[in-house]
Amino acid sequence: MDSIPKKLYNIHRFDARSKLELYFSDKEDMIFGEDSLKFPMMNLHYVFSRGFICGNLLIDLSMGAFIHHLYSAANIFKDIIIIQFKFNEKCTMEVRRWHGDRTGAFSWTHTKTAFEELEGKSDQNQDKELNLKASIKHIVTCNLEEENLTHPLVLPLADCVISEVLLDVISKDEDDYMRNLEKISNLLKIGGHLILFGLLNTTYITAGADRFHMMKYDESFVRSSLSKLGFVIDYCAVQRRRNVSDLIDYSHIYFITAHKEK
């Protein structure tokens, strides 16, 4: 596998629609549903339903153009800001196409149904997808090279930040991971919560015809990194991979919620 050249997410860009179709669709041959859809949605529903995460503003800074992990957040936060990268305008376009109900938007109906099942009810008076769209107030772009990721725009500090798989693809090594994690931490107010999803022991992910670099690390590294930046972990769940595919080589998927003490 290492003999195959890997592209870099923040240089060569990503086939946004291909990634959605491969890892997040409702197609019968989409084998990643247990990990990429159910696991994050289930854990987010759990932590948000416990009531210890609250506030007005949530910032999402994740890899790609997916939104299914934000349904539970829309029940808590009246304002959600999605941050996308300037170098990958196709991901930004996909999110805005869905948010604006434009022709050709990727369908997330299957995840809305899954979320209703998690809640144990289907409220006919409230469309969960419309509720999420109403909560998303801004979709902004950022520059990975800036200390303030959204420079020159200065965002208010968030009560909660969600980042799914992003650190895995933008970080070249452990030092780079720490620098990127600190930039994400700077978006969060003291006492606020950081929610991380990531893949353990992985080196690549495939999108379209291309294979992209992913940083390989284990659970202890994530825990140590958060501790060094002043976070205290409140909840952690790790799940062994539930599929067989050579599109990506992770061993486990993890979910961590931590609050910022300093």
For the segment 179-198, what is each residue's pLDDT rounded down to a tens digit? 999 999 999 999 999 999 99
Instruction: Please give the span between the terminal C-alpha atoms of the chain, in angstroms, as a whole number.
Output: 41
Q: Is the pLDDT of residue 4 over 60?
A: yes
Mean pLDDT across 81-105 = 91
Structure tokens at 228: 């060094």
> Residue 152, preceding bond cis, omega within 30 degrees?
yes
Minimum mean pLDDT range among 57-61, 204-208, 246-250:
204-208
Residue with the bigger pLDDT between 8 and 141: it is: 141
Q: Which two tokens stand for residue 150?
A: 């959204």
pTM over 0.85, yes/no:
yes
Kindly indicate the confidence band of residue 170, based on its pLDDT and cuts at 50, 70 and 90: very high
Q: What is the pLDDT of residues 109-156, one digit of tens each?
A: 999 999 999 988 655 556 899 999 999 999 999 988 888 999 999 999
Q: Is residue 83 over pLDDT 70?
A: yes
pLDDT at 218 over 50: yes
Give the pLDDT confidence score for residue 2 in this predicted structure.
53
Distance CA 9, CA 212 (A): 6
Q: For 244, left (φ over 0), alpha (ψ -120 to 50), or beta?
A: beta
**Structural domains of the chain, ranges and CATH numbers in brackets:** 9-260 (3.40.50.150)
pLDDT tens-place string over residues 150-162: 999 999 999 999 9
